Amino acid sequence: MNSILEIRGVRKAFGGVVANNNVSLSVSPGKIIGLIGPNGSGKTTLFNSIVGYHPIDEGSIKFDGHEISQLRVVKIARLGLLRTFQQTRIYGKMTCMQNMIVSAPYSDAGWNLIFRRISPADTRKAEDLLKFVGLHGKRLLRAGDLSFGQQKLLEFAMALMHEPKMLLLDEPTAGINPTLIKGLMNRLLRVNRDFGITLLVIEHNMRVIMNLAEYIYCLAHGELLAEGRPEVIQNDRRVIDAYLGAH
């Protein structure tokens, strides 16, 4: 059982609506894993459960050997498990550089630490990562003035600034110009290969996810419908039916 993320029998209901039921999946370190499913199938709910946004009703979530299903968002982020949002979230009135620097993985544990100065090393790292996503020229602009696609890239760079062990990406290509998608995919692959960050990716763009992920889980109606390698998932009758609305 050599997995960085291990989810066993997770259930989450909102009143009478069961958003996740008996979902189990596991992610090995260093892999890129896909999570697909029709709208409303509970993908984002599962992400929220993993990062501690809300408590789960049943089941267990283990990250890097720690049971995290009882931990809060901040603690889980500190362990090195970070997520990006479907509706991109950046700090709109701060400059890109400030967005990056505030994302550095500081410990805020001591009262003295929250007043610390900004180190030149962090400034350099922030600039390098902005170069990596191609936003270096706009680093002094306010993040809210960037286009939606650029904000997504910034959010991605902010997540990298935090040096996570694993990233949960909620629809990284949604709303991005098709010509930019290829560049983004290359970056995701490089992040995985060069920085060794494990990725769990929610994606609706089948071409993207089939090329990116080594293994794919498919949710439907809150339950795990199918899992397997991309070529297996692509030809799975149940998956095709779920997307086309056969049940």
Partner 1 sequence: MNPTIVRALLYGGFVVLALVAPMIASDFLTQLAFLWVMIVFALTWDILGGQMGYNSFGNIVFFGVGMYACAVIQRDAGLSYYPGLFVGMGVGAALAVAVAALLGSGILGLRGHYFAIGTLGLGIAAGELAGAWSYIGAGSGMVPPLYPGRVGGRETFFYYLCFAVAVAAFPVLRWLYAGRFGLAINAIRDDEDKAEAMGIATTRYKTAAWCISAFFLGLIGAAVGNLIGFIDPRDVAFAGPTFGVWMVLMAILGGKGTLWGPVIGAVIFHVTQELFWTYLLGWQRVALGFLIVLIVVFFPLGIFGWARERWPERFGHRVEEPPAPPQAETGK
What residues make contact with partner 1 under the rule CB under 8 A? 51, 53, 73-74, 77-78, 82-83, 85, 89-95, 98, 101-103, 105-106, 108-109, 111, 114-118, 133-142, 145, 147, 149-150, 153, 158, 162, 177, 179-180, 182-183
CB 158 to partner 1: min, Å: 7
Whichever of 118 and 189 has its CB closer to partner 1, that residue is 118
CB 165 to partner 1: min, Å: 13
Quote the radius of gyration of the chain (alpha carbons, Å). Answer: 18
H or E element in which residue 43 lies? helix 43-50
> What stretches of 119-222 adopt beta strand conformation (E)?
166-170, 198-202, 215-220
CA-wise closest residue to 191 among 215, 214, 163, 170 = 163
Task: Read off φ and ψ for residue 45, nearest 5 degrees.
Answer: -60, -40
Q: How far is CA 132 from CA 145, 157, 183, in A?
A: 20, 8, 11
CA-wise closest residue to 100 among 116, 121, 86 = 121
CB 73 to partner 1: min, Å: 5
CB 240 to partner 1: min, Å: 32
The number of CA neighbours under 13 Å toward the Cβ of 140 is 1
Whichever of 49 and 150 has its CB closer to partner 1, that residue is 150
CB 18 to partner 1: min, Å: 24
Query: Do the beta carbons of residue 200 and residue 167 sit within 8 Å?
Result: yes
- DSSP, collapsed to helix, strand or coil, labels residue 131 as helix
Query: Do the beta carbons of residue 167 and residue 140 sit within 8 Å?
Result: no
Whichever of 38 and 149 has its CB closer to partner 1, that residue is 149
Whichever of 170 and 227 has its CB closer to partner 1, that residue is 170
CB 84 to partner 1: min, Å: 9
Whichever of 171 and 227 has its CB closer to partner 1, that residue is 171
Whichever of 14 and 111 has its CB closer to partner 1, that residue is 111
